[in-house]
Amino acid sequence: MVVSVKQLEKRYGPHRALGGVSLDVEPATLFGLLGQNGAGKTTLIKILLGLVVPTAGEAALLGQPVGTFSARREVGYLPEDHRLPEYHTSTSLLDLYGALQGIPRRQRRRRAAELLDLLGLAGREKLRIRGYSKGMKQRLGLAQALLHSPRVLFLDEPTDGVDPVGRKEIRDLLLEERRRGVTVFINSHLLGEVEQLCDRVAILRKGELMVTGTVADLTRQKASWLVAFDRGVPVSFRFPGATIETVEGGSRLRVSLAPIEGPGAEGAEAIDTFLAAASAAGLRLRHLERERATLEDLYLAIASGGETP
């Protein structure tokens, strides 16, 4: 395991930041860590980085206790509210950081040029960082985190302030890093982006791990369908066990169906029977799409303390 956490606790006086969190993350995984402000995300990351000492429990990074030098040198980190020395240019900044990391001069300059190109900063090497936009600073911070080719990346809001084109470039870069075997930890409030990018997700609430799993498992299918016919559904049309409502400005219907009872019955059979009844009533199908729960649905349910959808 790249990350192994067992019954991890952290208290600051009477305040409990983490309460018995257990978590494993395998190599080459894009892992999304979600939760409201104060849920314990940053505390967990700082423990894994060796910056905060846990009150109880165990935490290992790359098979070694957190905080060891050999483990930390394999980590790239982009904090949410990072500050870069603004009198530097991007080239001089990366050259400085590369020297501090012990990367040979020729190698670090070649790597810096490669990352600046990948992150859309090529051609701006002579511009001082004080002239950078927030999105450009975010890209440069990511370049700094990737400079020494780490095995593990911890990224806190990596696309904050970045335009849509830049977000796509960063997503592509992170997917390429995963293909190279890098494990990427992402903290983000952009739930749609996490759902699109990550393999696995964990959600914290008040220091406790509420759910963890693959995005596919957590965004399971609902028992409702978006349906469109070539003409509206006549008032006289009825189907036992179906709740029908108009959505998307009247262009589609949301059809919620009770599951069919009986041996071998599956959710799909209910919609098949519904469509057969609609066809018999003279309705011609134009669109059919099964609805899925989203990470936002799950996140909001957990944040509110209610039932998960």
How is the chain split into domains, by residue range? 3-215, 221-292
Q: Could you identify the residue written with the tokens 């165990």?
A: 58
Of 196, 213, 172, 215, the closest CA to residue 25 belongs to 213
**pLDDT per residue of the chain (309 residues) written in tens, 0 to 9:** 899 999 999 999 999 999 999 999 999 999 999 988 888 898 999 999 999 999 999 999 999 999 898 888 999 999 887 888 999 999 999 999 999 999 999 999 999 999 999 998 988 888 999 999 988 999 999 999 999 999 999 998 888 888 888 888 888 999 999 999 999 999 888 888 888 889 999 999 999 999 898 888 887 766 788 888 887 666 667 788 788 888 877 678 888 877 555 444 445 678 888 888 888 888 888 888 887 777 888 888 888 875 555
pLDDT of residue 185: 93
pLDDT of residue 193: 84
Task: Give pTM, 2 decimals.
Answer: 0.78
Quick one: angle between helices 90-100 and 105-118, nearest 10? 130
Question: What is each CA distance from 131 to 80, 128, 145, 187, in whole angstroms?
Answer: 20, 6, 21, 27
Question: What is each CA distance from 87 to 2, 126, 197, in whole angstroms?
Answer: 37, 11, 34
- Kind and range of the H or E element at 254? strand 252-257
CB atoms inside a 10 Å sphere around CB 266: 9
DSSP 172-202: HHHHHHHHTT-EEEEE-S-HHHHHHH-SEEE
Q: What backbone torsions phi and psi does residue 84 show, to the nearest 5 degrees?
A: -105, 140
Q: What backbone torsions phi and psi does residue 145 show, to the nearest 5 degrees?
A: -65, -30
What's the CA gap between 184 and 170, in Å, rounded? Answer: 12
Fold of domain 221-292? Alpha-Beta Plaits (3.30.70)
The CATH superfamily of 3-215 is: P-loop containing nucleotide triphosphate hydrolases (3.40.50.300)
Helix (H, G, I), strand (E, B) or coil at 46: helix
Question: What is each CA distance from 102 to 49, 93, 95, in whole angstroms?
Answer: 19, 14, 11
DSSP 125-145: TTSBGGG--HHHHHHHHHHHH
CB 155 within 8 A of CB 190: no
CA dihedral 227, 233, 238, 244 (to 10 degrees): 50
